[in-house]
């Protein structure tokens, strides 16, 4: 008999949660589904995509390569500034990435709050229908996969015309 009361109490609790939070959850779902220009950025050589390490939300969190998934932490909204120049906003952290120090060969990338800093501007240079080079605006340094391993760094180096510097944009609209 007590299980019957516990079941009904739990059912009432769940219904209250749905009534209280259901509309908010549905609104969030619609917002995510309707966000435009959202992509995973996948390296041609490794097949891995750009991601915030461990989906960290703090500034200075390393930007890495990780196997492609339809996750928010691997989805970047491309916000066009002018021509082929974009600001990239991570759908999970709502932040962007930039060089971890002054742009020079070998510098890696880390996450930073969106702030209009020109270090956060990226030029997407189309190589073919679906391949791009990504250059740090105002430099001759290109986003490059440092190696093919999980959690490997992404660095800036001069153009080498290699598949480590070629990227595909894969449209995605993750819910989580």
Render pLDDT for 64-106 as a digit per residue (tens, 0 to 9).
999 999 999 999 999 999 999 999 999 999 999 999 999 999 9
**Same domain membership, residue 99 and residue 41:** yes
Beta-strand ranges (E) seen in the chain are: 38-43, 48-52, 63-67, 76-82, 85-90, 96-99, 109-112, 121-126, 132-136, 141-145, 154-158, 167-171
Q: Residue 50 sits in which domain range?
A: 37-171
pLDDT at 31 over 90: no
**pLDDT (0 to 100) of residue 24:** 65
- Decide if 114 is inside a domain: yes
Check whether 8 has a pLDDT greater than 70.
yes
CA distance 63 to 66: 10
Task: Note whether 95 and 136 are same-domain residues.
Answer: yes
- In 3D space, the residue among 128, 176, 175 whose CA is nearest the CA of residue 30 turns out to be 175
Location of structure tokens 């391993």: 149
Query: Can you give the pTM of this predicted structure?
Result: 0.84
Residue 176 lies in a domain: no
Is the pLDDT confidence value at 141 over 80?
yes
């Amino acid at each position: 008999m007590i299980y019957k009361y516990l079941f009904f109490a739990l059912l009432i609790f769940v219904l209250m949660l749905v009534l209280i939070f259901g509309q908010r959850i549905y609104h969030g779902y619609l917002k995510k589904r309707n966000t435009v220009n959202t992509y995973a950025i996948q390296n041609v050589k490794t097949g891995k995509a750009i991601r915030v390490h461990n989906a960290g939300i703090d500034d200075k969190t390393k930007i890495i390569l990780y196997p492609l998934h339809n996750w928010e932490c691997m989805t970047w909204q491309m916000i066009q500034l002018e021509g082929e120049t974009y600001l990239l906003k991570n759908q999970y952290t709502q932040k962007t990435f930039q060089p971890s120090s002054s742009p020079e060969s070998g510098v890696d990338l880390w996450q930073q709050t969106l702030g209009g800093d020109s270090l956060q501007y990226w030029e997407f240079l189309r190589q073919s229908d679906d391949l791009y080079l990504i250059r740090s605006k105002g430099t001759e340094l290109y986003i490059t996969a440092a190696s093919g391993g999980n959690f490997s760094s992404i660095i800036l180096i001069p153009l080498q015309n290699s598949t480590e510097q070629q990227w595909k944009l894969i449209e995605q609209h993750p819910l989580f």
